[in-house]
Structure 1
Amino acid sequence: MGYPWKNLSPKDGFLVKQQALLSDIDQKILTFLYQPLIGTAAYSLYMTLWTEIEEEAYWSEGVLHSELLALLNIGIPELYQARIKLEAIGLLKTYLQTDPTKLIIYELQAPQTSDVFFKDDLLSLLLLERVGERKFKKLRNRFIIESIDKKKFQEVTKSFLDVFQFDTELLKREKELLKEPVSYIGKTSSSNPKIDSKTFDLKFFYAGLNQQYINRSSITKEIEEAVLVLHTLYGLDELALQQFVLNASDIETGQIDEKKMKKLAYDDYHNKNQQNISLKDVVEKDIQVDSNQQQMRENELTQRGLTKEDIAVIEVSEQISPVDFMNSIKDQKGGFVTKHEEWTLEEIVKKANLPTSVINILIHYILVVRNNPTLDQKLAYKIANDWAQEKVVAPEEAIHKVKKMYLENSEKRQQQENRSKTYAQNRNKGSYGKQTTIRKETLPDWAKAENNQTEETPMSEEEKQSFMERLKRIQNFGKEGE
């Protein structure tokens, strides 16, 4: 199964654009009206993106997604889920650039004003379902302002021309300047969430109403949108909504009371159902499935004798490209990737035909397990050739290969140490106090190269802990503590 968030990496950069100047009242509307609809993660994402833009600025500086994940303390799937909720509700627009480098722009959209929010069928009904009738009325009252009783007061406001005079000829001369196509910061029209009418047969709906006393002209655009919202939220079909329209209509005039129609649908649903409707976005199920698959894989790897450290390395190796993987390790070690290392890695990727996860295990073995400062070309080519010929296609197979190499090298070191001890003992014995002449063998070049490789030593508990912390920073996947 393909998950859309797999295309998003912690190493991807992004910019934030502020399309409209956001105010304190916008923040209140976001907090009290939008947050119940989108949840705390999406709300936190919006507010965090907002704070990335400095005061009196309209663009943020470049930021990596890894920093955003650390601030929000969530993983890539949860970030993607929060993002699309903001997009769906009309609070965010996302733009992607892939060439020459990958870059994402998040354009913040201003929330609807309170009066537009409560007049919008979908937003107001969603809020009503989320918080209940009592809380809904309390929230609405928070944004209600008493109007002036114009019967008791007379307006004495002066018009523009009562106060100012200007040269109309000057205005004509400057007309071209005023027409220059530029984009100004300020309040722009906010986006409403859209309802798809594909699952509702409007022709059948209207045909049924035509047989009654309802005129087609009575179904305004606002009424039609309300009907589609009720169909989407409560699962009402064409026949049921025809009846609600009839019950909310005036027999004499044929006019439809939209407020009454929505109230009838709301009451009917809750008379049949004891709980409010629950909204589940399309990603929620996929995230759960992905999480279950990951847990099953961890259990499988554990049964195959792999340790928690091994599994953590495997999980990272499956999430990040070899280039990003090597760069991440070098960053954590305080080093840098050389051009020679880039060429070496490029050759392995092109010629070895190994999965990226297996190549990452190779990189990890040389740079972390052996603690080499650079990706040794000869050693990398030798291992890549061996694994390609042995048809190593999974990172767990590569881990077992690494452990086998470690054991073989340990045995060689032990044999060498034993020979050294024997040699020293024989040299010290001598015959009648005379020293024995020992012939010194010259090792061939390939043996020298093998012998000069950095010795592998088991990691201490402190080193293991430090390594696991580095892995978490490299991975940036999943919540803290997972």
Structure 2
Amino acid sequence: MSMNGHFKEVIPVDMYTVQLCGVLHEQDKKVMTLLYQPLVGAFAYSLFMTWWQEADAYKRSSHQHLMNITQFSLKDIFEARKKLEAIGLLKVYKKEDEQSREFLYELQKPLSPYGFFTDGFLNIYLFNRLGQKKFIEVKQSFLTEKLAKEEYKEITSSFSDVFTSLHPSEMVAKGYMEISDSTEEHLFDERTDNQEISLRSFSFDMDLMMADISSFIVPKEEITDEMKEAIMKIAYIYRMDPLEMSAQLQNAYHLHGQLTVENIRKEVQKWYRFENNDGLPSLAVRKQPVPLKALHGKEPATEEEKTIKFFEEVSPYQMLELYSGTKPIEADLGIITHLMVDQKLPAGVVNVLLDYVMRINDMNLAKGLVEKIASHWARKRIQTVPEAINLAKSEKKKYAEWQEKKSASSYKGRRGAAPSDSNRLPDWLNEEQKSSSEKSGQPEEQENKKWLNELLKGL
């Protein structure tokens, strides 16, 4: 960009408004100062902190005002803004007409200390910036000692200890309908915290589970703190009590000779299907949450909106079922669980990812490719279907390179083998390809179009 190239993007009289995506806490200030500032620089850090304070006021301001209070040039502000966008701390929206241009700056929550130091990208970037010694010092500043709870007896009151249950006469249907309507249609605040799935409402007695496990069958050192966290998530998904989980842990260790998250999931899935007549945990059939639906309560007017509506109204389980024509296999359901629990991607976003990978990979759900793209989307904090589609469009060259590496690895050593010519991009990702295929009238394309139309009729 030339010295004055930023004036094509923003000028001093352009207005802007700042809002927060979620709630920023004191801990986030420390993360911003010690972890993000070395990566984005002082200008970008200062700009973020300034906008943080302005977000509370929620008023329109001009970029000239921003130049005055920061004492930065417009060029410095624009370059700092770009850094915040690139690192996932800012989303920018623009509306303009012939007379004016206005921006909405939406601040994103920084990663938690744990999320940052296990990111696999930002932590390496910070290590290279600070050097080993300083990196370790900064990392240790976020470590906290926990008191040994074994010396204490828990006396926390439960809900039922404090609050009385409702009398039947108080349970008026109309009132509950109003509660449901108000929370879905008129949200108090649609901004999301982008935090991990909360397990606080799910009671799981880890001590009881540990006490029930025989040390003759499973050595206690096999169950690490990291393993316990994974066990909690699995128990949450499948609604297991401690004794049920204990039995499956012992079964997994007996059959496989070691405890891994994958082995535990495999045995729990078998157990769950047996106990529930081949039923599914509720997580696998969830759909896009209402607050994250771009077309909630709206009729799609364009082909693109029909596609978005489709991804928002089906579950990932239904997506896999539609592709295979039968019940999804356990391995594929495990991938969905990983995407929704570990990567924290909503159901609609998972649908976009599944559709993309299946289409470019000859209808095979390649776990490695799925996880690589999912990790990228999670870092970008993708939460809605339009966001997922737009990012896939902008990054399709990068994903193609990942796919080529995977294909080269898969076919290495197989004489005469070559990647399938049937691999193609989804229609929603390549509009030019879509129009050309429609003109050609190929049977496969016509069949796909008919299939999608039938699906949309049923929504």
TM-score (norm 1): 0.38
Q: Which has the higher contact order (CA 8 A, sep 6+)?
A: 1
* The structure with more radius of gyration: 1
